Structure 1
């Protein structure tokens, strides 16, 4: 198994793909801020719990001594599917106000969402690189 195939790395990659796709949707909203009748859009949030369940079977504790307390971990996942969460479902999500022309894009709200998405992307890429560094240290390849 390659390091990039670990479930945690796969989940971080999915999150980065989702954030990149969200940035595209938000930029379309900003580009259409003056288009009559345009409704602001966003991506459906990723379900982290579902991603964890799909990541594979849960680890079960192993009793190596008779004195160990047995506590099996319930549940097993189904593995990650190729192409899942690469973008996400685009949903119409109008901002709280609509102009007289029927446009529901509020530039200030869109710019806040763009900044949040950018910060989230930087956070995930930082976690990704730190996790790779920890694995390299554990393998003795610092």
Structure 2
């Protein structure tokens, strides 16, 4: 009998958490859009997180934190680096990423339940 490898569930769980954290970072940036001198924060891409997680031997994001950094790609005359259009795009993209992750995660759990003979 083979042991079932459930890493795919860990990956999609991490993807959902990454999307939620991206939403949080974007919301914070948007909230500070008019603060003089505020430096926008950005979160590492999910692929970068996965590469880092794989090198540590685990795709479980409970043990790894998502890295953030200050964004310096835009600066308003008051020294604020929040680009509202970019933040809105990031928030919408994170929503799509979250929906995809939850959909695949839910379907995978349904398949596992079917495989072991339990009804959903």
TM-score by length of 1: 0.69
Task: Indicate whether 1:109 and 2:86 are aligned.
Answer: yes
Instruction: Determine if contact 2:75/2:82 at 8 Å carries over to the other structure.
Output: yes
- Structure 2: give runs of 5+ residues left out of the alignment: none
* Greater C-alpha radius of gyration: 1
Task: Indicate whether 1:131 and 2:100 are aligned.
Answer: no
How far does the alpha carbon of each residue in 1:56-86 deviate from its partner, in whole angstroms, 9 at most, with x for none?
xxxxxxxxxxxxxxxxxxxxxx44567324x
- Structure 1: give runs of 5+ residues left out of the alignment: 55-77
Instruction: Determine if contact 1:11/1:51 at 8 Å carries over to the other structure.
Output: no
What secondary structure does 1:91 align onto?
Answer: strand
- 21 and 82 in structure 1: CA distance in 2 versus 1, 3 angstrom threshold: closer
- 10 and 38 in structure 1: CA distance in 2 versus 1, 3 angstrom threshold: same
Superposition CA RMSD, Å: 2.4
Q: Which residue of 2 aligns with 1:119?
A: 96
Q: Which residue of 2 aligns with 1:84?
A: 63
1:13-92 to structure 2, matched below 5 A, reads 13-46=13-46, 47=48, 48-52=50-54, 78-79=57-58, 83-85=62-64, 87-92=65-70
For residues 20 and 89 of structure 2, the distance between their equivalents in structure 1, rounded to whole angstroms, comes to 16
Q: Name segments (4+ residues, structure 1) moved above 2 Å.
A: 46-54, 78-85
For residues 130 and 112 of structure 1, the distance between their equivalents in structure 2, rounded to whole angstroms, comes to 27
1:123 Cα deviation (Å)?
Answer: 0.5
What secondary structure does 1:88 align onto?
Answer: coil
- Count of residues in correspondence between the two structures: 114
Instruction: Determine if contact 1:40/1:93 at 8 Å carries over to the other structure.
Output: yes
Instruction: Determine if contact 1:38/1:103 at 8 Å carries over to the other structure.
Output: yes
TM-score by length of 2: 0.80
